[in-house]
Amino acid sequence: MKIALCQLNFIIADIQGNANKIIKAIEEAQTNHCDLAIFSELSICGYPPDDLLDYPHFVDQCLFEVNKIAAHVKDLAVIIGSPSHNKNKFGRKLFNSAFVIQNGEIIHQTNKTLLPTYDIFNEARYFEPNTNFETFIINGKKLAISICEDLWNEMEIFNYQLNPIEELNKLSPDLIINISASPYNKGKQEQRRKIICNKALITKTPIVYVNQVGAHTDIIFDGCSMFINGKGEIIHQLPAFESCIKFIETDIQNTETNTSIPENTEINQLYQAITFGLKNYFQSMGFKKAILGSSGGIDSALVQAIASDVLGAENVLAVMMPSKFSSQGSVSDAIQLSENLGNPHQVIPINDIFNAFENSLQPIFNDLPFNIAEENIQARSRAVLLMAISNKLGYILLNTSNKSEMSVGYTTLYGDMCGSISVIGDLYKTEVYQLANYINRNNEVIPESIINKAPSAELRPDQKDSDSLPEYKILDDILELYIEKQKSIEEICHHGFEKILVEKIIRLVNNNEFKRFQAPPILRVSSKSFGRGRVIPLVSKW
């Protein structure tokens, strides 16, 4: 069979626009004499549609467009993903479905069996699981369809009782098709390849895997669609973070035809994911220009460099807002960065603003010593200026906080936590340095003086992050064990960390959940990101 793997970027709720993309791809597949064109999970509405699925007319509109698409299907078969109504008396009202269309009609429907309800997923909230396994015939070939999670039952953490691929394999299909919306996180591409190849090897059946590409606010989908032969060998893999259509012949299963799987380093994948996520966010929302506070520190420098790469340096406004505690080196470093990148930049000192706040608050503060209140006034003054410029000029404010700071509350509500999107909020500080060095791999974009200086918020005299936090390598290792790995204090201590330090760090993480609850959406690149990926009670005694 000649199959079109349609790895496309479907925007959530742009039902008609998504349908038009599908129709255009179908026409291209027909022109290239394909027998079958395959699209990703919930392609008609984009994934994840979340509570839009609670609106009956949303689902009805999806099904209307599916039937409209069917009229364009003539000389091939097509598989598309869509929600559908559960007409049974019991269970959830919807199915997560794959429709097979041929000769203008829907000839087969497969519903998703395994509904993930962990991390960023909550499909059992909306969908009823499938319990019926069938195949269908296209061009004399017996085909079986599974949907995304149906491939992942072997992961012990999920503890699924049913193996959809095993059930389908009992029907002796010639080919297993998986339509997917599998998001990116560090290490996911290799993990995904191993799982799919293992499934093909165990079943001795070729697998076609078509994944969504694109980014929906915080969730980034990398694509990497594949064709794997019955020996578990990857014959074709589509590029990551790129919309494309690939035409394959399933009868050619020699690995010599492999179109070379990109051997990207993890840091390169990470950079691709963040730039791709930010680009999609601006394109989907119709934004063109960004603003950020440029402090002369590593975090804002990295965000500025990323934004300049994505939007064009001329569309990124860097605003330096020094206070009396800011070093001259920080100001000059920030200016040098803007000159290196070619950004427009402004310097707006906040001394007078800070003094005005102090004078206004003097009757209440009286002669109380300088503390975090005055530090936060500076951060919030900067946020007010940035938001004012954003409102006046229509620039989108980028948040520059990293995951290490957000974890332990080393951020200011309504200050440096402001922003429309958090670019590096899922990167630990050590990863921030890694990406900065990656950007500088060919030439010095981010001044080395920024990379080499001791981290500081510069909100009081001679302040350093190390005054209140351990070395970032130690901090990040503890945070990863607690947040990503969900280890206990005792388990973390087994890795060689002092119990007093571990208890302090975990206490800071737990006590600052209220701040993260009010943070902007964060581009997700880890297996456990803040936001929808980690839901912790704000009020608890844990």
> Is residue 260 left, alpha or beta, with left meaning phi > 0 and alpha meaning psi from -120 to 50?
left
* 515 flagged as catalytic: no
Instruction: Say which residue the tokens 């330096």 belong to.
Output: 320
Give the pair of three-digit tokens for residue 479: 């945070």
DSSP β-ladder status, 175-180 and 141-147: parallel
Alpha carbons within 13 angstroms on the beta-carbon side of residue 327 total 17
The answer, yes or no, to whether the previous bond of 48 is cis (omega within 30 of 0) is yes
Instruction: Say which residue the tokens 């964060």 belong to.
Output: 522
Catalytic residue among 34, 45, 62, 148: 148
Phi and psi for 176 in degrees, rounded to 5? -105, 130
**3-class secondary structure, 329:** helix
Phi and psi for 75 in degrees, rounded to 5? -100, 15
Number of Cβ atoms within 10 Å of the Cβ of 391: 10
Dist. CA 522–CA 421, nearest whole Å? 6
* 41 flagged as catalytic: yes
Number of Cβ atoms within 10 Å of the Cβ of 508: 17
Phi and psi for 246 in degrees, rounded to 5? -120, 130
Phi and psi for 113 in degrees, rounded to 5? -95, -55
DSSP 361-375: HHHHHTTPPP-HHHH
Contacts of 4 (CB under 8 A, 6+ apart): 25, 28, 29, 32, 34, 36, 37, 38, 245, 246, 247
The answer, yes or no, to whether the previous bond of 239 is cis (omega within 30 of 0) is no
User: Among residues 378, 386, 393, which one has the least CA distance to residue 418?
Assistant: 386
Instruction: Say which residue the tokens 């070729």 belong to.
Output: 206
Catalytic residue among 21, 112, 199, 515: 112
Contacts of 239 (CB under 8 A, 6+ apart): 223, 224, 262
> Which helix or strand (DSSP H or E) is residue 37 part of?
strand 36-38
Catalytic residue among 6, 21, 34, 41: 41
Contacts of 468 (CB under 8 A, 6+ apart): 410
Burial 35-45 (b: 16+ CB within 10 A, else e): bbbbbbbbbbb
Dist. CA 404–CA 413, nearest whole Å? 16
Surface-to-core class of residue 500, CB atoms within 10 Å of its CB (0-12 exposed, 13-18 middle, 19+ buried): exposed
Phi and psi for 161 in degrees, rounded to 5? -85, -20
Pair 163, 201: CB distance under 8 Å: no
- Residues assigned a catalytic role: 41, 112, 148
